[in-house]
Amino acid sequence: MLSTIRNKSKGWVAYLIVGLITVPFALFGINQYFTGVSNVAVAVVNDDDIMKDEFLYEFNSNKRRIQEQLGSNYDPQVDNIVKQSTIETMINQLLLSQLADKLNYSTASGELMATIKANDMFHTDGVFSMEKYQQLLRLNGLNPTTYESLILKELTQNQIKFNLLNSSFMTPIALDKLQKINDQERSFSYFQIETNDYLDNVSVSNADVDNYFTENNDTFIEPQKVKVNFIELEADEIAKGISISEGELESLYEEEQDRFSTEEERKAQHILVETEETANEVLDLINNGLNFADLSKEYSIDTGSKDKAGDLGYFTKGVMVPEFESTVFEMSEGQISSPIKSDFGYHIIKLNSVKESTLKSFSSVRDELVSLATDKAAQKELYKLSEELSNLSYELSLDEVAAQLNLSVTESDFFNQNSTNYDPSFVKSAFSDVVLNKGENSELIEINQSRFVVLSLNEKLAKRVKDLGEVKDEIVSHLSTVAAKSLVDDLSNKVADLFMADNKESANKLMKDNNLEWADVDWVKRNSQDPNSDIVSRVFALSKPVDSPTYSSQSINNKSVIVLRLNNVRTSNTQPIAELGGIVLGFESEDVFGSIIRSLKSSNEVKVFRDLL
């Protein structure tokens, strides 16, 4: 038994975070559930509510993750997309959970253990580590009971998808055809024409520029811009001025004993049976000299451990069910327990080994202590200064505030409301009514836990239409590119048309006049990167040549075109790989799975209160 799993655990609220902590087990960023007396339902799925607190938890987690990925490119307008995506995902999860309950799906404890132990995030040197497992859960505010209940529910729900795949099949003939298509090879030739090479062949008149400017005047609008002054507090900067005494380090070492200690671990094996009568029979057999491992294989109902002689590996406190744990942590090495009752049945436990708790030496963790102490002191000073900054900036100018706190005032560049050069909260505050129109200091802005800012307006520039002189070069460049692109499109189409009409002499002359030469590419497969994946995919979209090569002229983008000549196609007689059917059926089952979701939404009562999101 790896955990304190309860078979009747039905907490749908807990399920809402399964997507963040199951495979690939993106554990980081999980803190605690939101609660509140003002909590309201933002959606109803049949008789189950999706509460606003749970929605906000999911939304904020997803938002933080996207912000971390996009960094300064994050646009506040993305929030609406994230909100809609979050509530749709939560509804889908709840519908599937309800369906799994109706179908009476369940997951064996052995499958649960195998899933958790297979997760690389819990591995040390390629092997599952109970210490790392517990540490990651603690860091994210979870305990094994809660976490494993979530995984159990996820595995049960996934059976819907797996059953779709397992019930599907492909005929040998279909697989053979598919394998031949997959293994097909093609030889081809191509040449690419770049628009930039033909810019000197086109001209743009002043009248063209004037007309384009007049017709597209609204595209040359420069939005309102602002420049702000700001005072910034950063923990890293504060930390540079902090020194930690040896006494402080020693005190911190005493306070943080748990951080630098390894928990006591015990290694045990067990035999799990359904009744006390059977447990006593097995215990008598053990006392009469029969082998514990052999009896485990014969009698134990724990499918996850019986074939390993009931071995549970090393574990610490807080992992096993209470009845099991209280017994095993009172036993001596080599001791065999009397039958112990739990929710799973009756256990006979044999304690094989004990790893005592150890504490790392002060010298070995001194650098970590310095870093920890410095961070704590910097964070404490940061919040102290941020409170002072917030209070002072409410009444004083930023210059006066900076003088009192011995800080500096920084001036930003001009930026507009869609700027990605500054943090979204910074930009939002700069364009707030208080700062932009009333000329007051902003409230304290928390960029993140280690950075705070207060800003005020320095200068603002009104929205305006740029004059022709400012954008003339831009317009000339655009019109030149459009005209040159039209030239190369016509040229490539003419070459391809001449070849398809079997007028090779004229086609070759046109190529020679424009310094164009075929680049020959020998046999390639669909996944080839030579010359690049885009060209290869275009080649495999062409029809198979019959008596002569297949030609095609295609626009790559607004900068270039390509002419393709498919010379030949060949297939192999290899047998279909074993995984091919499963891969194809996987794609098909995803489509069916999507259909199930749509069907569930149409046949169940789903209400979303979008004004509350």
CA 128 remoteness from chain centre: 23
pLDDT of residue 76: 72
The region of weakest confidence among 42-51, 60-69, 99-108 is 99-108
Bigger pLDDT: 119 vs 397: 397
Determine what percent of the chain is predicted with pLDDT higher than 90.
51
Residue 317 backbone phi and psi in degrees, to 5: -65, 150
- Residue 566's nearest CA partner among 582, 588, 548 is 548
Same domain assignment for residues 233 and 372? yes
pLDDT at 183 over 80: no
Same domain assignment for residues 21 and 131? yes
Q: Which two tokens stand for residue 552?
A: 């095609």
Same domain assignment for residues 162 and 99? yes
pLDDT of residue 128: 83
pLDDT of residue 588: 52
Is residue 586 a part of any domain in this protein?
A: no
pLDDT of residue 467: 94
The region of weakest confidence among 66-80, 192-206, 252-266, 320-334 is 66-80
- Residue 18's nearest CA partner among 159, 165, 124, 156 is 156
* pLDDT, mean of residues 498-503: 94
pLDDT of residue 16: 30
Same domain assignment for residues 315 and 458? no
pLDDT of residue 36: 40
**Residue 179 pLDDT level (bands cut at 50, 70, 90):** low
Of 325, 356, 387, which residue sits at a domain end?
Answer: 356
Q: How many other C-beta atoms lie within 10 A of the C-beta of residue 526?
A: 15
Rounded Cα distance between 538 and 526, Å, is: 10
pLDDT of residue 517: 96
Is residue 403 a part of any domain in this protein?
A: yes
Determine what percent of the chain is predicted with pLDDT higher than 70.
85
pLDDT of residue 189: 96
Query: pLDDT for 413-422, tens place per residue?
Result: 999 999 999 9
Query: pLDDT for 508-546, tens place per residue?
Result: 999 999 999 999 999 998 888 888 889 999 999 999 998
Same domain assignment for residues 395 and 514? no
Rounded Cα distance between 76 and 552, Å, is: 43
Is residue 318 a part of any domain in this protein?
A: yes
Peptide bond into 576 cis (omega under 30): no
pLDDT at 424 over 70: yes
Close Cβ partners of 403 (under 8 Å, ≥ 6 residues apart): none
pLDDT at 271 over 70: yes
pLDDT at 24 over 50: no
Peptide bond into 24 cis (omega under 30): yes
Bigger pLDDT: 587 vs 389: 389
pLDDT at 122 over 90: no
Close Cβ partners of 153 (under 8 Å, ≥ 6 residues apart): 9, 14, 15, 18, 97
CA 30-34-36 angle, 5° bins: 175
Is residue 7 a part of any domain in this protein?
A: no
* pLDDT, mean of residues 279-301: 93
pLDDT of residue 176: 58
pLDDT at 581 over 60: no
pLDDT at 162 over 70: no
Is residue 545 a part of any domain in this protein?
A: yes
**Residue 385 pLDDT level (bands cut at 50, 70, 90):** very high
Same domain assignment for residues 386 and 533? no
Bigger pLDDT: 84 vs 33: 84
Bigger pLDDT: 207 vs 610: 207
* pLDDT, mean of residues 32-57: 74
pLDDT of residue 172: 58
CA 406 remoteness from chain centre: 41
* pLDDT, mean of residues 55-81: 80
Same domain assignment for residues 23 and 156? yes
**Residue 30 pLDDT level (bands cut at 50, 70, 90):** very low
- Facing residues of 563 across strands? 191, 553
pLDDT at 108 over 90: no
pLDDT of residue 407: 94
pLDDT at 402 over 70: yes
Same domain assignment for residues 128 and 19? yes
Within 431-467, residue ranges assigned H as helices are: 433-436
Same domain assignment for residues 27 and 58? yes
Same domain assignment for residues 82 and 231? no
The region of weakest confidence among 30-39, 207-216, 367-376 is 30-39
Same domain assignment for residues 231 and 373? yes
What's the mean per-residue pLDDT of the chain? 84
Strands 265-273 and 311-315: antiparallel
pLDDT at 3 over 50: no
CATH classification at residue 20: 1.10.4030.10
* pLDDT, mean of residues 438-451: 93
Of 356, 390, 422, which residue sits at a domain end?
Answer: 356
pLDDT at 19 over 50: no
Provide the number of structural domains found in the chain. 4
Same domain assignment for residues 280 and 412? no
Rounded Cα distance between 76 and 74, Å, is: 7
* pLDDT, mean of residues 216-235: 94
Is residue 93 a part of any domain in this protein?
A: yes
Q: In this structure, are residues 340 and 346 in contact, taking their beta carbons and an 8 Å threshold?
A: yes
**Residue 124 pLDDT level (bands cut at 50, 70, 90):** confident
How many residues appear in the chain?
613
Rounded Cα distance between 368 and 594, Å, is: 49
**Residue 440 pLDDT level (bands cut at 50, 70, 90):** very high
**Residue 212 pLDDT level (bands cut at 50, 70, 90):** very high
- Residue 152's nearest CA partner among 48, 4, 254 is 4
Of 333, 356, 379, which residue sits at a domain end?
Answer: 356
Is residue 474 a part of any domain in this protein?
A: yes
Q: How far is CA 192 from CA 189, 435, 471, in A?
A: 11, 53, 31
Element (H, E) at 506: helix 504-513
pLDDT at 10 over 60: no
pLDDT at 8 over 50: no
Domain holding 89, by residue range, is: 12-168+602-612
Is residue 590 a part of any domain in this protein?
A: no
